[in-house]
């Protein structure tokens, strides 16, 4: 049994573990808009740690959307009234 098989990576936006082949846990991934999910699948380089700028940009966008969605909904509007 290799070390890699026991490796349990964390979701990019929360503390839950995800599958090594996934970017996020299923809950966070579900918050990513479908067109952005498709963009990530389309631009990913399989079998390589090196990813394209297009993929990195799409992932950063997805992470920002999920992080915004996960924030507590305490204030309904941005900035002072
Ligand atoms: Zn997550």
* 1 CA distance to ligand 1 middle (Å): 27
Mean pLDDT, all residues of the chain: 87
Distance from Cα 78 to the centre of ligand 1, integer Å: 24
HSE (CB half, 13 Å, CA atoms) of 26?
0
Q: How far is the CA of 15 from the centre of ligand 1 (A)?
A: 6
Long-range Cβ contact pairs of 51-59 (< 8 A, separation 24 or more): 59/12, 59/23
What is the pTM assigned to this prediction?
0.76
pLDDT beyond 60 at 4:
no
6 Cα to the center of ligand 1, angstroms: 19
Give percent of the chain above pLDDT 70: 81
């Amino acid at each position: 049994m290799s070390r890699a098989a026991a490796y349990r990576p964390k979701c990019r936006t929360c503390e839950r573990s995800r599958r090594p082949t996934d970017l996020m846990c299923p809950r966070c991934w579900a918050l990513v808009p479908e067109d952005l999910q498709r963009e990530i699948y389309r631009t990913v380089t399989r079998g390589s740690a090196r990813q394209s700028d297009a993929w990195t940009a799409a992932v950063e966008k997805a992470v920002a959307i999920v992080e915004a969605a996960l924030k507590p909904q305490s204030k309904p509007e941005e900035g002072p009234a």
